[in-house]
Amino acid sequence: MPAPAANPSARSRLHSPEDDLAFMRSIVEGGGRPSLTLAICYLAGGLLYGLQCLFHVGQATGLIRWPDLANLAFVVGITVAFLSVLTWAILKDRKDGGANRGPMASRTLNAAFSATGMANTAVIIVFGVGAFRDNDFAIWLYYAAIVFALQAAAWYMAWTLKRKGWMLATALGGWVTAVALGVLVREPLWYLGVCTVALFLLFALPGWIMFREARSGSKAA
């Protein structure tokens, strides 16, 4: 008995492996703007804390000799300014739809960097408590090396999804910075110099790139 002829309409609904791969590629490479909160966090954090590192370089070299209260006010002011900008960015991002809009790749990256931020918070607590307990400030300085290592991993993931050269450069720069900071914790001036350059190049600059992409995406929407 001959086999029944295949239903053309049913056959048309089947997907070949090439179709599935094309679909997955469209999800990954589907564009979409980055989160404005993420962009602002990197841009403001890089600029403000890079400025703070420059301030500490000035202190270490004797160029800045402020009273203790003025030094404390400056450091607190940097953090207050960063939190203020970040709060504004979060509120604006929620109003615009932010991380809940766009293709899968953009949402995945936003989630990855948010998870990295959570890990950074744990690292700060662990090294902060350890430095206080052991009365050794150098232990606290190791946290920055771990932060840059985690950032390097996040940026490498971003590069595997987006294949943008600046993302790979940021990932490699973060890895080199993490190693350099880990080696230089007992060399304050060199440590501060590396940290200053890294904050401007690996935080502020990528933040500016993402900020431009986020703004252009919102205008096009």
Range of the domain at 61: 33-220
CB atoms within 10 A of CB 144: 23
Domain count within the chain? 1
Average pLDDT of span 100-104: 50
**pTM of this prediction?**
0.74
Q: Is residue 212 part of a domain?
A: yes
pLDDT, tens digit, for every residue of 33-91? 567 788 888 999 999 999 999 999 999 999 999 999 999 999 999 999 998 988 887 78
Q: Is residue 14 part of a domain?
A: no
- Residue 11: pLDDT above 80? no
Tell me what the pLDDT averaged over the chain comes to: 79
What pLDDT shows up at residue 25?
45
Q: Is residue 7 part of a domain?
A: no
End-to-end Cα spacing for the chain: 59
DSSP letters, 45-110, are HHHHHHHHHHHHHHHHHTS----HHHHHHHHHHHHHHHHHHHHHHHHHHHHH-GGGSS-HHHHHHH
**Please, which residues have CB within 8 angstroms of residue 15's CB and are 6 or more apart in sequence?**
23
Q: Is residue 10 part of a domain?
A: no
